Amino acid sequence: MTRVMELWPQISREMEELLRADGHTALADQVTTLEFAQMCGCGDSFCDTFFTVPRPDGAWQPQRWTIDLEPSWAGYLLIHVQQTSPERIIEVEVLYRDGLS
């Protein structure tokens, strides 16, 4: 698999900085090692959402929670975290950004 940092270094660095600034140090530490699994595939022109684990056929298990970060660009950066031990980033919603970089 390819690391997210290799594919999109700019968004990865920003995600790491924002997670640290928001007090999510353990999650920020994961950013450099996140593996790219697949794109969302919804087809929406404003969506660059990607997954760091394969999407399940049904609902995500166990529960997950979302961190809404405030990126420097006009858009949305939402980090979905699986509540496991340790918690891990499983999905990154990048919405209304002019492409990943």
Q: What is the pLDDT of residue 14?
A: 93
The percentage of the chain sitting over the pLDDT mark of 70, rounded to a whole number, equals 98
- Return d(Cα 71, Cα 88) in angstroms, integer: 20
Q: Give residue 101's pLDDT band: very low, low, confident or very high (50, 70, 90).
A: low
Report helix, strand and coil shares of the chain as percent, to nearest 5. Answer: 25, 30, 45
Radius of gyration of the chain (CA): 13
pLDDT in tens, 57-71: 877 777 889 999 988
Residues 93 and 49 sit within 8 Å (Cβ to Cβ): yes
pLDDT at 75 over 70: yes
In this structure, the dihedral spanned by the alpha carbons of residues 101, 78, 24 and 3, taken in order and rounded to 10 degrees, is: -40
